[in-house]
Amino acid sequence: MLQKKWRMTNQRRVILEELRNSKEHLSADELYMRVKKKLPNVSISTIYRNLEELAEQGLIRKLGPQSIQKRFDANIQPHFHIRCVKCGRIDDVPFSMVSEVSQAIRKTTAMVEKITGYDVLGYHLEFLGICPECRKKEEKKERERNGR
C-alpha cells in the first residue's frame, strides 16, 4: 500500500486558508475569485484538483451530492432515500421506517429557524451507503486480489 507523497504548495495553502477564513460554504468558482486576489496566476483547474485532493485527505468536506445528475421520482408520498455512493442508484426508505426521525426533525424546526434566520420549508434526508450490487462487485474484486 504505498502512499503518494504530499506536497504543500503555495496554491494549496492559500486555497485551504481562504476556505477556512470564509463563514460561507464556497463553490469552486467563488473560491477561485478569492484565491486569485492572492495568487493572480492561479488556474481554475488547480482549484478543482485541490478541492478533490483536500476532501480525500479529510481536510475539507464536499457538500451535496456526489453525482451531479438529478433523479426523478413519481412517488410524491413522503419518504426518504438511500443513495449508493459507488453507482449513484437511489432507492426508497419507506416512511414507516423513519417516522421517528421525521418527528424529531419536525420538533427541531422552530429552533433551526430562530438560529439561522431562514424560513424553513422542508428538509432532505438521504442515507448514503453501498448498494447490494456494488457490494457484490467489491467482494468479487477483493477475492480476485487475494486469490492470486
Query: Residues in the site for DNA, rule: CB under 7 A?
Result: 4-12, 27-29, 39, 41-46, 48-50, 52-53, 68-70
Q: Which does 37 bind (CB under 5 to 8 A by kind): its own copies, DNA, none?
A: none
Cα angle 107, 111, 104 (rounded to 5 degrees) comes to 20
CB of 148 to its own copies, least distance (A): 26
CB-nearer residue toward DNA: 22 or 45: 45
Minimum Å gap between C-beta 36 and its own copies is 16
- Gap between the Cα atoms of 28 and 51, Å rounded: 8
**What residue has cell string 417516522?**
99
Query: What, of DNA, its own copies, none, does residue 8 touch, CB below 5 to 8 Å by kind?
Result: DNA
Q: Is 16:60 a contact under the CB 8 Å cutoff?
A: yes
Q: Are 31 and 47 in contact (CB under 8 A)?
A: yes
Smallest distance from its own copies to CB 84, Å: 7
Name the strand (E) or helix (H) holding 106: helix 99-116
How far apart are CB 112 and DNA at their closest, in Å?
Answer: 26
Please say whether the dihedral angle defined by the alpha carbons of residues 139, 140, 142 and 148, taken in this order, is positive or negative: positive
Which CB atom, from 28 or from 104, has the smaller least distance to DNA? 28
> In whole angstroms, how far apart are CA 122 and each of 24, 29, 35?
21, 28, 34
Question: From the list DNA, its own copies, none, which binds 19 (C-beta under 5 to 8 Å, kind-based)?
Answer: its own copies
Q: Out of its own copies, DNA, none, which partner does residue 141 contact, by CB within 5 to 8 A per kind?
A: none
